[in-house]
């Protein structure tokens, strides 16, 4: 290989690594809540699974489809505290959504294509909850 080819390959590799690194899920903090979402592709889903143990709340989103269920992204997640104050309002970038919240009682709302699901939850120190939301196709 000549120098020009090696430089072109090096630039292509660097660009690929930069795109993959920037696409990785990152933790976002808003007020007293921190969340991370994603899970599209093997790298992201592996990262989310590794991080899940550090978050008291793990949400998973699925659309019941035929012949096989499908993971869902672009789910609107809203979490309100016992006083009805919204503590987290975000859209999931993939089928997994991790959240760190202060201990307390919350109303969790997940919406996909106009279909809204609600669930009351309690966050306690040292706990971990995995909640799956399912929508019909």
pLDDT digits (tens, 9 = 90+) for 50-89: 999 999 999 999 999 888 999 999 999 999 999 999 999 9
CA 135 and chain centroid, separation: 17
Residue 48 has pLDDT above 60, yes or no: yes
**Band of residue 23 on the pLDDT scale cut at 50, 70, 90:** low
- Average pLDDT of the segment spanning 103-126: 96
In a domain, 10, yes or no: no
Quote the pLDDT of residue 118.
Answer: 97
Residue 115 has pLDDT above 50, yes or no: yes
Backbone dihedral angles phi then psi of residue 11, each to the nearest 5 degrees? -65, -40
In a domain, 119, yes or no: yes
In a domain, 116, yes or no: yes
- The domain containing residue 116 runs over which residues? 25-136
In a domain, 107, yes or no: yes
> How many domains does one find in the chain?
1
- Average pLDDT of the segment spanning 83-98: 96
Quote the pLDDT of residue 137.
Answer: 83
- Are 35 and 90 in contact by the 8 Å Cβ rule? The answer is yes
Report pTM.
0.81
In a domain, 18, yes or no: no
Q: What is the CATH number of the domain that holds 29?
A: 2.60.40.10
Tokens of 92: 């999931």
In a domain, 66, yes or no: yes
In a domain, 108, yes or no: yes
Strands (DSSP E) contained in the chain are 28-30, 33-38, 57-64, 70-71, 76-81, 86-91, 96-100, 104-112, 115-123, 129-136
- Using a 10 angstrom Cβ sphere, with 0-12 exposed, 13-18 middle and 19 or more buried, the burial of residue 124 is exposed
């Amino acid at each position: 290989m000549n120098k020009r080819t090696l430089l072109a390959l090096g630039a292509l590799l660097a660009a690929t690594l930069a795109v993959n690194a920037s696409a990785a899920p990152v933790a976002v903090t808003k007020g007293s809540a921190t969340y991370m979402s994603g899970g599209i592709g093997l790298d992201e889903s592996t990262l989310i699974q590794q991080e899940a143990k550090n978050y008291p709340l793990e949400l998973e989103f699925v659309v019941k489809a035929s012949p096989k269920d499908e993971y869902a992204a672009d789910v609107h997640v809203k979490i309100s505290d016992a006083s009805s104050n919204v503590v987290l309002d975000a859209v999931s970038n993939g089928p997994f959504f991790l959240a760190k919240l202060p201990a307390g009682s919350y109303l969790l709302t997940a919406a996909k294509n106009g279909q809204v699901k609600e669930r009351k939850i309690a966050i306690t120190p040292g706990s971990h909850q995995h909640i799956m939301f399912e929508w019909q196709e």
